[in-house]
Amino acid sequence: MLEVPKVRWSDIGGQEEVKQQLQEAVEWPQKHSTAFTRIGAQPPRGVLLYGPPGCSKTLLARAVASEAGLNFIAVKGPELFSKWVGESEKAVQALFARARAAAPSIVFFDEIDGLAVARDTGHGDGLSVGDRVMSQLLTEMDGVLFYLLYSLIFFSTCLVFQSSFTQNLSKVEKILCTQVPTQI
């Protein structure tokens, strides 16, 4: 779903450090792109928010999109899976095509740990759907100038999950932990 959220930083209680880091990673490159270009700085291509349920991860992603004036595309990781061969990979391609068409935008992967399944050990008949989807996701992440078109924000309830995603964590250049809110 494509939207422009109407959530402000003031709508989120606490999380001051995470808010500041999200502003620096996503909002500032959009608002001050000429300064970033002039000094040769590149913002992170992806941000991973992790923490226990109910700690404002989705709200934080919506707020940074709103404050930066970016379109917001939210997808639950497991929604990309299909029982039809090749359809899951097409869903990933379509998602990134939609993000490019709506640029600049934030692509928010909710429950990325449901998408980032453990890689096949090689004992099967070929690549599993999870392997193919993860490969397509990593290919799409490699093929785009993120700071010009869109930012990726991933959400997980745990930092460590076994997948090619954690093996390719270099694509996620900022990892932020959310805590239970301290303010209302």
Residue 153 neighbours by CB under 8 Å, 6+ apart: 26, 46, 47, 48, 49, 61, 64, 106, 107, 108, 109
Q: What angle do CA 176, 58, 140 make, to 5 degrees?
A: 75
pLDDT tens per residue across span 116-168: 555 445 555 556 777 777 777 777 776 654 444 455 666 565 554 434 454 55
Query: Which carries the bigger pLDDT value, residue 70 or residue 147?
Result: 70
Fold of 2-177: Rossmann fold (3.40.50)
Across 31-35, 71-75, 84-88, 133-137, least confident range: 133-137
pTM: 0.77
Q: Could you report the per-residue pLDDT of 76-121, keeping only the tens digit for each?
A: 877 777 777 778 888 888 888 888 888 888 888 787 766 655 544 5
CB-hemisphere CA count at 13 Å for 68?
Answer: 30
Q: Any idea where the domains of the chain sit in the sequence?
A: 2-177
